Structure 1
Amino acid sequence: MSRTYILPLLFLFFWGMVISSSAQAPAFAHPGLLHSKADLQRMSAAVARQRSPIYEGFLVFQKSPSSHYDYQLKGPLKEVGRNPTRGQVDYDSDANAAYQNALMWAITGDMRYAQTAIRIIDAWSDTLQLVTGRDAVLMAGLGPFKMVNAAEIIRHSGAGWPDAAVKRTAQHFRRVIYPVLAEFAPFANGNWDDAALKTVMAIGIFCDDHEIFEKAVRYYVNGWGNGSLTHYIINDAGQVQETGRDQAHTQLGIGMLAECCEMAWHQGLNLYAYANNRLLKGFEYTARYNLGYNDIPYTPMLDRTGKYYHTHPSEMARGNLRAVYEQVYNHYVHRMGLEAPFTKAAADRLRPEGPGIPGADHPGYGTLFYTIDPAIDKMESLNLSEERPAGLVLTAKADASMLTWVGLHGISSYVVKRAENKEGPYIKMGVANGNFFSDSSMKKGVVYYYTVAGIRDGSVSKESLPVSLAGGGLPKGWRNNDIGNTGAPGHAQYDGDLVRIDAGGMFTDSLPAAVNYTYRELKKKDEMIIQVCPQPSSQFTTVGLMIRVDLQPDSHFAAWMLYPGKTKEIEAPGWMMQLIQRRNSAAATTVMTKQLLRVPAVTYGRLTGSYWLKVTRSGNKIAGFGSYDGIRWERLGTVHWSTGRPALMGIAAAANIAVTTTVRVRLRQ
């Protein structure tokens, strides 16, 4: 063996000492983002032994200027942004270098690489204060993902990074990066959502914050934007939301979903398998088309935003394979023993996989990072006591609440518990064989909290974070109905905090109203306050508070509605608050008042912040108010209502597009 590779072999012993020296099990498995302890040890050993094809992948990786310890910082800057561009190239270059130097340190044991990575991470964490621009989500979701990965490796590899610097970096990720991504990007094509998803998940793990991590996993499986798994890979054929746009963004999006799965895998979660291996189906479909096959099925589709309609697969960038296939091929074929012929063919064509260009779009270098030989490499596993299920979703049905979750790999049995308070006590409801449980014993209107824990050989995992839902779906005394011809049926359910509404229909000042309505009886003296939460799945959505006589489409109503006025720019509607009224069944709908919304509710023409609405009734006087913080209110108009007439009061929502919209409303009772 040459002297060049003695250091990596010695470094393997050091790796074991670093990981095993902790006195207590961490909140998450660390390192646990794209690369686990076992991954880093495998790479280091394979490079030392010049094991093919990992070694060939390393040679490509080593040649990159971003993998050199003499890399010269381009930043740091106090502000970076996209559209308009501010320091994007500099940040992404430095993030690539931090990540790749951290990996070079982990592979070779040469401290100079660690020092370079630390210098880059510290410089940006100490300096960067703002992420700005119309495309800020992409700015915060791409390069910073690599910066978090670099920090994770350095922190948990004995590189000598001071605790004070670690804490500053964690605060930086929480205070500067996370707020830009916290509500994801449902207003855009799915790759935006997925850029936010992966970095939110990474920040949750790095900061040992289960709430942030769980938020990301739940959005992955049940998010309302284009980027959640089944909204992005829209069917079992594997068609992708952006297949009709171009092949570059399609591969970008599925690649980022795969990165989420790898991080979840290192935390014991089999997110790869969710929805019957839907991710694999998306990769097979995309690889097949980009390898030149023309026999893929395609369903014309309108996306969740209502802005993008595609009728056929796009030829744009077809055949330009991105460095995303090696990871997915090795997982499904070598880890799980499944077949993935087209993903394999794409990986074969790229091997050894190169950089994840352009910019910081992908990690790349999958041949080095992810090559597994089942005959040599053992599948890593955590102690069950360190794992917990995640991604819990509750759905209200007519006579039951349906609970699903992301399971732990290698676990098929789960104990389900329920409580009437978030803090407990929790009572065992049963054992599920699989990732599904139905509860028909709930009382309507009562909010229940559920947890799930895995079972194996008499041992039990940590319990999941709780998920909640009102029995029957809504608070006591509340109902949900579609009014008029909404096209697609609507639905609403309440979790004790938020009402999540799926609505079709149209609600404008010039067409017959067709809305989804979540309501209760109007009292003689009454008040209802809602917070319209960021962000709806479509920026064509109309949502607000409505009082009406009954559920007939032509009945008397008054409504204080957030409305996206038409502009010349489809990406930037003119958001306003309108008071709309119909005085009787024969009367036309009339806009009584209107008021443009401003920052912080609206940025770059998008409803990306919260807005509060309040409607009060006293006798025959009904008044509406609006607020940007839920504290300071401004009057939005008053109507008179006959005190002798029964009436309904509630939340009205309409999609104004050919698919449903999803809005979330916080109900203050």
Structure 2
Amino acid sequence: MACILLFYDTAFAQAPAFLHPGLLHSQADLQRMRNGVAQQRSPIYEGYLVFRESPFSHYDYRIKGPLTTVGRNPGIGQSDYDSDANAAYQNALMWAITGDKRYAETAIRIIDAWSNTLKAVTGKDAVLMAGLGPFKMVNAAEIIRHSNAGWPEDAAKRTEKHFRQVIYPVLAEFAPFANGNWDDAALKTVMGIGIFCNDREIFETAVRYYVNGWGNGSLTHYIINDTGQVQETGRDQAHTQLGIGMLAECCEMAWHQGLNLYAYADNRLLKGFEYTAKYNLGYNDIPYTPMPDRTGKYSHMRPSEVARGNLRAVFEQVYNHYVHRMGIEAPFTKAAADKLRPEGPGNPGADHPGYGTLFYSIDPGEGNRHAQNIVTESPAGLVLTATPDASTLSWVGLVDASSYIIKRADKKNGPYLTIGTSTGNFFSDDHVKKGVVYYYTVAGISNGKESAASIPVSLAGGGLPGGWRNRDIGNTGKAGYAQYDGNLLRIEAGGVFTDTLQEAFNYTYRKLLRNEEMIVGVCPQPSSQFTTVGLMIRSGLEPDSPFAALMLYPGKTKEIEVPAWMMQFLQRKAPGINASVIARELLTPPAVTYGRLTGSYWLKLKRSGNTITGSGSYDGIKWQQLASVEWRADQPVLIGVAAASNISNTTTVRVRLH
């Protein structure tokens, strides 16, 4: 690919505004529903009749909350919140469709009550509690705020604050410890909050996790191959439909913001829907490949018969997008949608929006583009990967862009230089220096106009800082790697590193001086809660080399879901002998909750002459020394980050280098 260097006189263009309303329903969608109901146009009108009969679609709905705390496992007000969220959302839509202000008043009353009162979301399943019902609440708020419903802007601002401070923190790290539908519940609500709050960073966080997240719920980890097999296909069909339905909801929100997330990874979402619809329609000729999931906890040998044939209300949206908007065949998704039409509620609880016949029915060729100028949009979901000689950039493209401009800078704030163009959604930059961190943005071109630039993404040339290397030590089963973006070191590691087995792990390292220390902050939520990660000083790269290591390690307990996370100091004093645990200490909240590494934790390994000391910290400021050991000063020494998945798959861990 040709390399062009042009000066770009600003760091990157002003962050684009969001289209409003722009979550599940745009203004054009609401108008289409209004017209369809007024004209009693089939099938929209039949869908409306089903929607209208729901008790959540009545303006005389009696609010069940609010509460100051809601929770799931143990349950605290879950059904009350979900019921009120359903009613807020459906009354907001009834207002938009009928123009009857009484529906708007009911929706406003519910939104205000909860946003003024709710202070905490709790429980072992808090992510699901915060990801399901609140998605409907934020959709309700989006419709009401942008439909002249009479909602004061100061009340809308309070609701923004509520979503940011109460709901978003529960979802911010997603749920990589669980089956993929947990991730996807978090994904859709994080994306919705980003749009409602006009927060491009939050929105971008969701898009990037959708395309490149480390948990089971990112697109290619959930729909695991091109046949369309889903991570939960072997678990049951209810959760499988739940997960793909929530991925589709993310795509519809992105579409309204000008992003063609539906098409990502060669229409992988449609492949998942076709596979799932076919199996649930009674066909048995679907391929199935047993695959280890990202957590290491869930293994299935065949498609599950549990809930098979119980079609959920998730098919109409996807059918209308691929077949009517895009002209792509989807025979099994169509058959499922036909069977459900008119689609009913998204049961149980607040799992799905449902009512797709009313919400999404369009004529062939209709709705290919929302009425919005491309200059208010930007590409998103940028992913950078490094090889020894180049950095490869991919992104989620704009709905109607004909080409893209790629810009690069040595600093996040620029100045940015145009280094090339692409007609696809990828670009390879082979003019990089190893160890230098580069920042990239992408802008789309449509009808001769250039869009705003994307939020920058960064990566060191060659993948690592200058002087650093990465390699697997021992037989890890699957090859690992590490990449550094100027702040975070993201490591993909296989292998086993426990206090009872021979080690095999991924090591990202550099030379260690006689007197120095290394500090890393281990980020929350590795993709497996069996992961071992920490700092290691060793004399060489042979598997049996002497070492001293300060590691976070999930000790075994009677419950596989609740490991005993601890900090361990280990040492092998000479080649060929077993490592010894010198000291260990259990971690407590906020680093660990419900047996999950849900908070950050800092590790410090210091060499001073012949002494190596390990310390830990919950905040990176106050340190607690765990242990010290003696180290022969004449040995060549390396220092770095060691990580192992301790499962048959690899794990992703993220650490901040200090």
The match for 1:128 is: 118
Per mean C-alpha deviation after superposition, the further-off stretch among 346-355 and 504-513 is 504-513
Alignment of 1:456-475 (within 5 A): 456-475=446-465
Amino acid at match of 1:167: K
Contact 2:325-2:366 at 8 Å conserved across structures: no
* Counterpart Cα distance in 1 of 2:23 and 2:31: 15
SS in 2 for 1:346: helix
* Counterpart Cα distance in 2 of 1:379 and 1:433: 19
Distance 1:140 1:338, change over 3 A: same
* Counterpart Cα distance in 2 of 1:405 and 1:25: 17
User: Is the aligned partner of 1:330 residue 2:327?
Assistant: no
Post-superposition shift, 1:378? 6.5
The match for 1:343 is: 333
Alignment of 1:530-541 (within 5 A): 530-541=520-531
SS in 2 for 1:256: helix
Contact 2:325-2:368 at 8 Å conserved across structures: no
User: Is the aligned partner of 1:242 residue 2:232?
Assistant: yes
The match for 1:666 is: 656
Give the alignment partner of residue 447 of structure 1, picking from 423, 432, 437: 437
The match for 1:523 is: 513
* Counterpart Cα distance in 2 of 1:539 and 1:380: 42
Post-superposition shift, 1:377? 5.8
The match for 2:378 is: 388
The match for 1:79 is: 69
Amino acid at match of 1:415: I
The match for 1:477 is: 467
SS in 1 for 2:439: strand
The match for 2:279 is: 289
Contact 2:72-2:123 at 8 Å conserved across structures: yes
The match for 1:27 is: 17
Contact 2:369-2:399 at 8 Å conserved across structures: no
- Map Cα deviations across residues 630-653 of structure 1 (whole Å, 9 max, x no partner): 110000111111222110000000
User: Is the aligned partner of 1:311 residue 2:291?
Assistant: no
Distance 1:539 1:377, change over 3 A: closer
Post-superposition shift, 1:114? 0.3
Post-superposition shift, 1:103? 0.2
Post-superposition shift, 1:77? 0.1
User: Is the aligned partner of 1:357 residue 2:350?
Assistant: no
Alignment of 1:270-669 (within 5 A): 270-374=260-364, 379-668=369-658
Amino acid at match of 1:85: G
Amino acid at match of 1:56: E
User: Is the aligned partner of 1:92 residue 2:82?
Assistant: yes
The match for 1:8 is: none
- Map Cα deviations across residues 265-323 of structure 1 (whole Å, 9 max, x no partner): 00000000000000000000000000000000000111100000000000000000000
* Counterpart Cα distance in 1 of 2:293 and 2:547: 32
Contact 2:226-2:268 at 8 Å conserved across structures: yes
Distance 1:469 1:439, change over 3 A: same
User: Is the aligned partner of 1:36 residue 2:31?
Assistant: no
TM-score by length of 1: 0.96
* Counterpart Cα distance in 2 of 1:211 and 1:376: 31
SS in 1 for 2:74: coil
Aligned residues, how many? Answer: 645
* Counterpart Cα distance in 2 of 1:658 and 1:386: 45
Distance 1:248 1:549, change over 3 A: same
Give the alignment partner of residue 199 of structure 2, picking from 201, 209, 216: 209
- Map Cα deviations across residues 231-275 of structure 1 (whole Å, 9 max, x no partner): 000000000000000000000000000000000000000000000
* Counterpart Cα distance in 1 of 2:359 and 2:72: 29
C-alpha root-mean-square deviation of aligned residues, in Å?
1.1
The match for 1:108 is: 98
* Counterpart Cα distance in 2 of 1:373 and 1:456: 25
Contact 1:412-1:435 at 8 Å conserved across structures: no
Post-superposition shift, 1:85? 0.2
Contact 1:545-1:652 at 8 Å conserved across structures: yes
Post-superposition shift, 1:172? 0.1
Contact 2:21-2:142 at 8 Å conserved across structures: yes
The match for 1:197 is: 187
Distance 1:375 1:451, change over 3 A: closer
Which consecutive unaligned segments of at least 5 residues does structure 2 have?
1-13
The match for 1:11 is: none
Contact 2:386-2:392 at 8 Å conserved across structures: yes
Post-superposition shift, 1:376? 6.3
Give the alignment partner of residue 65 of structure 1, picking from 41, 45, 55: 55
Post-superposition shift, 1:381? 3.9
* Counterpart Cα distance in 2 of 1:383 and 1:432: 21
Amino acid at match of 2:581: V
* Counterpart Cα distance in 2 of 1:50 and 1:167: 37
* Counterpart Cα distance in 2 of 1:600 and 1:93: 31
User: Is the aligned partner of 1:171 residue 2:136?
Assistant: no
Which consecutive unaligned segments of at least 5 residues does structure 1 have?
1-23
Post-superposition shift, 1:576? 0.7
Post-superposition shift, 1:26? 7.4
Amino acid at match of 2:651: T
Post-superposition shift, 1:341? 0.2
Amino acid at match of 1:621: T
Post-superposition shift, 1:374? 2.7
Post-superposition shift, 1:380? 2.3
Contact 1:611-1:626 at 8 Å conserved across structures: yes
What is the percent sequence identity of the aligned residues?
76
Contact 1:155-1:166 at 8 Å conserved across structures: yes
Distance 1:26 1:542, change over 3 A: closer
* Counterpart Cα distance in 2 of 1:25 and 1:643: 53
The match for 2:7 is: none
* Counterpart Cα distance in 2 of 1:642 and 1:26: 57
SS in 2 for 1:278: helix
* Counterpart Cα distance in 1 of 2:254 and 2:599: 29
- Map Cα deviations across residues 162-207 of structure 1 (whole Å, 9 max, x no partner): 1110110000000000000000000000000000000000000000
User: Is the aligned partner of 1:222 residue 2:188?
Assistant: no
Post-superposition shift, 1:617? 1.3
Contact 2:570-2:583 at 8 Å conserved across structures: yes
Contact 2:326-2:365 at 8 Å conserved across structures: no
Distance 1:377 1:437, change over 3 A: closer
Contact 1:67-1:104 at 8 Å conserved across structures: yes
SS in 1 for 2:121: strand
Amino acid at match of 1:356: G
Higher relative contact order (CA 8 A, sep 6+): 2
SS in 1 for 2:581: strand
Amino acid at match of 2:518: M
TM-score by length of 2: 0.97
SS in 2 for 1:301: coil
The match for 1:14 is: none
Distance 1:376 1:135, change over 3 A: closer
* Counterpart Cα distance in 2 of 1:567 and 1:645: 38
